[in-house]
A and B are shown apart, each in its own frame.
Chain A
Amino acid sequence: MTGIALLIPIALGLGLLGLFAFFWSLKSGQFDDLDGAGLRILIDDEEDAPRP
């Protein structure tokens, strides 16, 4: 029983953590431009930075 008493809150807590992470990402606009986000990694931002 003690095992369950410990495990259930942990399981619920982890789930809640995921839920809040999802809410946060929704609020911070990470779902606003789904196609653009995928393309932006292709932009070479450091063109004018000195090469190592």
Chain B
Amino acid sequence: MTLIKDQTDAGGLPEALFSVPGMHCAGCISKIERGLAATPGIDSARVNFTAKRVSISHDQGLTVPDLVAAIGRLGFEAQPVLDPTTLVTGEESKGLLKALAVAGFAAMNIMLLSVSVWSGAEGGTKDLFHWLSAMIALPTIAYSGQTFFRSAWAALRHGRTNMDVPISIGVILTGALSLFETAVHGPHAYFDGAVMLLFFLLGGRYLDSVMRDRAREGVAALLKHTAPGALVLGKDGRTSWVDAKDLTRGMTMILAAGERLAADGIILKGDSRFDLSLMTGESAPVTLGVDEMVHAGTLNIDAPVEVRITAAGADTAIADIARMMEQAGQSKSRYVRIADRAARLYAPAVHTLAALSFAGWMVAGAGWHESLLIAVAVLIITCPCALGLAVPAAQIVAAGALMKKGVLVKDGSALERLAEVNVALFDKTGTLTLGRPDPTNVDALGAEDAGIALALARASRHPLSQSLRRALEDKQTPAADVSALRELAGFGVEGLWQGHPVALGRPAAGAATAAMAVELTGAGAPVLLTFEDKLRPDAATVIAQLKAAGIPSAIISGDRAAAVAPVARMLGLTAQTGMHPQDKLTAIARHTAAGAKVLMVGDGLNDGPALAAGHASLAPASASDAGQNAADAVFMGDSLMPVMTCIRVARATQAIVRQNFILAIGYNAIAVPLAIAGLVTPLIAAAAMSGSSLIVVANALRLKGSAK
């Protein structure tokens, strides 16, 4: 019995792709695949564990929310991946990997032949080996060198030069000259050098591309936050499912409890509480009624409402934020990575050196053939193998070390930017705090009341009920036997316990002193249960350590001053409150204008633009997709410590990168004079090249334990 049907069986059925971040073991894979395959209408499901995605091939009749619900019934939260372009990520890396494999294969074979030549093969044997090397090397150069040739050509056509120009010239000249040498039975052929050069360079490029692939998801994914569509009430009173892109102004959406809005609108009928944390960052739900404005992406908690659409698609407030993020992100894309900065200086220097040595030897009276040979040797020797590996090797190792600590770094330049920050700005809700309500006075409940509370809380999916249930279950409270459970929209849950009416719900008017509270009417007098959003453990330590590392912190929050003040006081930080996304951008711009490099740590959608604008940014894994997308790195778990770990590892990486540059430049300082003097034989070139590359990689491996 095979669980997964063959691809051809599923031909013709629509496929849908979902992101399921919650899977973490083999059990999850089998649960999702079997469970979905057993659902009527679903033909097959296939999990990609590395990408944490499920692709489902299903009947036409099933809609996206049906599938999300099907995954939900298995106990996993799923989000549809709307943008199919995310599927093609990694194509570039794959192409580079192929080129690397070919170059590696060719380099090994040519090296075997070269070793026999170096150890004294003479006459016919040597010629035969040279010809064999040529037969392997020339097709390899043509295939594996394409990346460099294309990029060099693109640069030259625009009248610029880059690292790939000397590489291309070097490789092509070496190949041509070696072919000529072979034809005239010359003593030296540099095929081994040329191919090995390609191999090491492609190794560096491949690592670099792997680092960059991670970040390719883009702002487009932000709109994942809005619902993929909505139930629309037609003129004839019938409802139909309409995709988000087809929603227009004036339509009436019916929004069930627990659903997110697909467009901005005004409430026509019903009132309910909405989770606005996406827009404002405030964790307490807000009650909204008829004629009040609701925004796409906000979550309806309590009761079904009817909403008339006032703005859909690109006009929604959330799309506005997406645009703001895109603009803010542009400054980041203008950041010039350290390797590119080095290349700008390097390429002209190499050209000049090679040209000078050619001219020098011509003037000194050597023939054009010998002069050209020396110039080529200079090009090969100076080719930036070690330089190309210096940065990506260190960053890959550092990213791997951070990954083990639960920090996902999205690209290499993020590590470079993280190392440079000197001011940290924190969002409050969900960043400094856990972003979820925790009951503060559960212990005040008597045994009977606790049991009743648990039974009532279990009957509701309201965030406060859920949190109360978790807290009580953690204390191993046995649930009381409550019958006739009923959830009243906008109020809470009620039921019967030993004939008494019991309820868990909104506190009576006047009693609501705290922002988040529920009232339990149980066995005795009513009890007010309050909730608070707790600080992340280690928050104070991290703030102190950041300060010690020369990074002062501050809070910028969209929350009310009253809610932010206790946190700010506890951590000894200054805070700016009531900030809109635009205000946060302005705050960052002000710091940047003063010459600071801002580290933004935040989670909500309202932090999205700020995360994109910060010199570097971090988001917790509990963050909204927008936050995760805009941030340079995402950290898991409740602790805030990863923020400090990131900074430490980034700085260590930068130190290793600098050492690697020094090593690479030191190697050049020794090898280039030899090359200019005409002393470099193929043997020396091969040894020098592989030696320097290996040293650089070995140095980078020292970062392995850096996240401890």
Q: How far is the CA of A10 from the CA of B51 in the complex (A)?
A: 40
Dominant secondary structure at the B interface: helix
Name the distance in Å between B207's Cβ and chain A's nearest Cβ: 16
In the bound complex, do residue A42 and residue B101 qualify as a contact, i.e. CB atoms below 8 Å apart? no
User: Mask for B26-59, Cβ within 8 A of A = 1, else 0?
Assistant: 1101100000000000000001111100000000
Residue in B closest to A23 when the chains form the complex, CB atoms: B98
In the bound complex, do residue B25 and residue A36 qualify as a contact, i.e. CB atoms below 8 Å apart? no
Say if the beta carbon of B1 comes within 8 Å of chain A.
Answer: yes
Segment of B102-110, B360-368, B493-501 engaged in the interface with chain A: B102-110
Name the distance in Å between B28's Cβ and chain A's nearest Cβ: 9
User: Mask for A21-35, Cβ within 8 A of B = 1, else 0?
Assistant: 011001000001111
In the bound complex, do residue B109 and residue A11 qualify as a contact, i.e. CB atoms below 8 Å apart? yes
Kindly identify which residue among B49, B94, B132 contacts A36, using a CB–CB cutoff of 8 Å.
B49
Kindly identify which residue among B2, B48, B98, B132 contacts A26, using a CB–CB cutoff of 8 Å.
B98
Q: How far is the CA of A46 from the CA of B3 in the complex (A)?
A: 10
CB-CB contacts below 8 Å: B99-153 with A: 101-102, 105, 108-109, 112, 128, 132, 136
Say if the beta carbon of B293 comes within 8 Å of chain A.
Answer: no
Note all chain B residues with C-beta closer than 8 A to A19.
Answer: 101-102, 105
Say if the beta carbon of A6 comes within 8 Å of chain B.
Answer: no
In the bound complex, do residue B26 and residue A33 qualify as a contact, i.e. CB atoms below 8 Å apart? no
In the bound complex, do residue A45 and residue B98 qualify as a contact, i.e. CB atoms below 8 Å apart? no
Q: How far is the CA of A48 from the CA of B34 in the complex (A)?
A: 13
In the bound complex, do residue B30 and residue A43 qualify as a contact, i.e. CB atoms below 8 Å apart? yes
Say if the beta carbon of B568 comes within 8 Å of chain A.
Answer: no
Q: How far is the CA of A4 from the CA of B29 in the complex (A)?
A: 52
In the bound complex, do residue A36 and residue B29 qualify as a contact, i.e. CB atoms below 8 Å apart? yes
Chain A interface: which size bin? 20 to 34
Contact A45-B3, Cβ < 8 Å, known A15-B109, A40-B29: yes
Q: How far is the CA of A46 from the CA of B109 in the complex (A)?
A: 46
Kindly identify which residue among A12, A39, A42 contacts B136, using a CB–CB cutoff of 8 Å.
A12
Name the distance in Å between B614's Cβ and chain A's nearest Cβ: 31
Residue in B closest to A42 when the chains form the complex, CB atoms: B26
Q: How far is the CA of A43 from the CA of B29 in the complex (A)?
A: 8
Say if the beta carbon of B539 comes within 8 Å of chain A.
Answer: no
Q: How far is the CA of A20 from the CA of B673 in the complex (A)?
A: 41
Residue in A closest to B112 when the chains form the complex, CB atoms: A11
In the bound complex, do residue B26 and residue A46 qualify as a contact, i.e. CB atoms below 8 Å apart? no
Note all chain A residues with C-beta closer than 8 A to B109.
Answer: 11-12, 15
Q: How far is the CA of A23 from the CA of B101 in the complex (A)?
A: 9
In the bound complex, do residue A22 and residue B101 qualify as a contact, i.e. CB atoms below 8 Å apart? yes
In the bound complex, do residue A32 and residue B29 qualify as a contact, i.e. CB atoms below 8 Å apart? no
Contact A39-B101, Cβ < 8 Å, known A12-B136, A49-B1: no
Name the distance in Å between B131's Cβ and chain A's nearest Cβ: 11
Say if the beta carbon of B97 comes within 8 Å of chain A.
Answer: yes
Q: How far is the CA of A23 from the CA of B50 in the complex (A)?
A: 21
In the bound complex, do residue A15 and residue B49 qualify as a contact, i.e. CB atoms below 8 Å apart? no
Residue in A closest to B25 when the chains form the complex, CB atoms: A39
Kindly identify which residue among B1, B27, B50 contacts A34, using a CB–CB cutoff of 8 Å.
B50
Note all chain B residues with C-beta closer than 8 A to A48.
Answer: 1
Contact A18-B30, Cβ < 8 Å, known A26-B94, A33-B49: no
Q: How far is the CA of A42 from the CA of B594 in the complex (A)?
A: 56
Note all chain A residues with C-beta closer than 8 A to B47.
Answer: 33, 36
Q: How far is the CA of A12 from the CA of B1 in the complex (A)?
A: 41
Note all chain A residues with C-beta closer than 8 A to B27.
Answer: 43
Note all chain B residues with C-beta closer than 8 A to A18.
Answer: 105
Contact A39-B49, Cβ < 8 Å, known A26-B94, A45-B3: yes
In the bound complex, do residue B49 and residue A35 qualify as a contact, i.e. CB atoms below 8 Å apart? yes
In the bound complex, do residue B97 and residue A26 qualify as a contact, i.e. CB atoms below 8 Å apart? yes
Kindly identify which residue among A23, A39, A49 contacts B26, using a CB–CB cutoff of 8 Å.
A39
Name the distance in Å between A34's Cβ and chain B's nearest Cβ: 6
Q: How far is the CA of A23 from the CA of B149 in the complex (A)?
A: 22
User: Mask for B677-700, Cβ within 8 A of A = 1, else 0?
Assistant: 000000000000000000000000
Contact A35-B132, Cβ < 8 Å, known A15-B108, A19-B105, A49-B1: no
Q: How far is the CA of A36 from the CA of B132 in the complex (A)?
A: 42
In the bound complex, do residue A45 and residue B1 qualify as a contact, i.e. CB atoms below 8 Å apart? yes
In the bound complex, do residue B50 and residue A46 qualify as a contact, i.e. CB atoms below 8 Å apart? no
Name the distance in Å between B519's Cβ and chain A's nearest Cβ: 47
Q: How far is the CA of A33 from the CA of B52 in the complex (A)?
A: 9
Name the distance in Å between B93's Cβ and chain A's nearest Cβ: 10
Q: How far is the CA of A31 from the CA of B99 in the complex (A)?
A: 16
Name the distance in Å between B89's Cβ and chain A's nearest Cβ: 11
Note all chain A residues with C-beta closer than 8 A to B101.
Answer: 19, 22-23
Q: How far is the CA of A8 from the CA of B109 in the complex (A)?
A: 10
In the bound complex, do residue B48 and residue A8 qualify as a contact, i.e. CB atoms below 8 Å apart? no
Note all chain B residues with C-beta closer than 8 A to A43.
Answer: 26-27, 29-30
Note all chain A residues with C-beta closer than 8 A to B2.
Answer: 45
Name the distance in Å between A27's Cβ and chain B's nearest Cβ: 9
Note all chain A residues with C-beta closer than 8 A to B94.
Answer: 26
In the bound complex, do residue B48 and residue A32 qualify as a contact, i.e. CB atoms below 8 Å apart? yes
In the bound complex, do residue A15 and residue B105 qualify as a contact, i.e. CB atoms below 8 Å apart? yes
Note all chain B residues with C-beta closer than 8 A to A32.
Answer: 48, 50
Note all chain A residues with C-beta closer than 8 A to B49.
Answer: 33, 35-36, 39
In the bound complex, do residue A33 and residue B136 qualify as a contact, i.e. CB atoms below 8 Å apart? no
Q: How far is the CA of A42 from the CA of B29 in the complex (A)?
A: 10
Residue in A closest to B97 when the chains form the complex, CB atoms: A26
Note all chain B residues with C-beta closer than 8 A to A40.
Answer: 26, 29
Note all chain B residues with C-beta closer than 8 A to A49.
Answer: 1
Note all chain B residues with C-beta closer than 8 A to A35.
Answer: 49-50
Residue in A closest to B108 when the chains form the complex, CB atoms: A15
Name the distance in Å between B129's Cβ and chain A's nearest Cβ: 9
Of all A-B residue pairs in the complex, the 5 with the closest CB atoms, nearest first, are A36-B49, A42-B26, A39-B26, A43-B30, A33-B48
A-B contacts, 29 listed (Cβ < 8 Å) = A8-B132, A11-B109, A11-B112, A12-B109, A12-B136, A15-B105, A15-B109, A16-B105, A19-B102, A22-B101, A26-B97, A26-B98, A32-B48, A32-B50, A33-B49, A33-B51, A34-B50, A36-B29, A36-B49, A36-B50, A40-B26, A40-B29, A42-B26, A43-B26, A43-B27, A44-B30, A45-B3, A46-B1, A48-B1
| Chain B interfacial positions (CB closer than 8 Å to A) | 1-3, 25-27, 29-30, 47-51, 94, 97-98, 101-102, 105, 108-109, 112, 128, 132, 136
7 more contacts with CB within 8 A, not counting A23-B98, A36-B48, are: A12-B109, A18-B105, A22-B101, A23-B101, A26-B98, A33-B47, A33-B50
